[in-house]
Amino acid sequence: MALSKLLASVVLLSSAVVAQAAAVSQKDFTGIGHIFVLNSSDWSKATPAQKVGCLDDDGRFINDEDVKECGVFARLNTYPYTLSSKNGNCTFDDEKTVANTDSVYGKSDHAWTCNATYTAVIYDELYTIDGFNYPFLCFGDIACYYDAKTVPTAGDRIPLWQFHWGSQQRGITPGHVQLQLLWDKIGELPKREGVKSIPSPRIEVTEGMQVPLTGHGVRS
Q: Is the pLDDT of residue 47 over 80?
A: yes
What topology does CATH give the domain 24-187?
A: Trefoil (Acidic Fibroblast Growth Factor, subunit A) (2.80.10)
Span 123-151, average pLDDT = 95
pLDDT recorded at residue 117? 93
pLDDT recorded at residue 192? 56
pLDDT recorded at residue 165? 87
pLDDT band with cut points at 50, 70 and 90 for residue 141: confident
- Sequential DSSP letters for 78-100: STT--EEETTEEEES--TTSPB-
Q: Is the pLDDT of residue 116 over 60?
A: yes
Q: Is the pLDDT of residue 194 over 60?
A: no
Q: Where are the domains of the chain?
A: 24-187
Opening angle at CA 215, ends 213 and 220, nearest 5: 140
Cross-strand partners of 94: none
H or E segment to which residue 61 belongs? strand 61-62
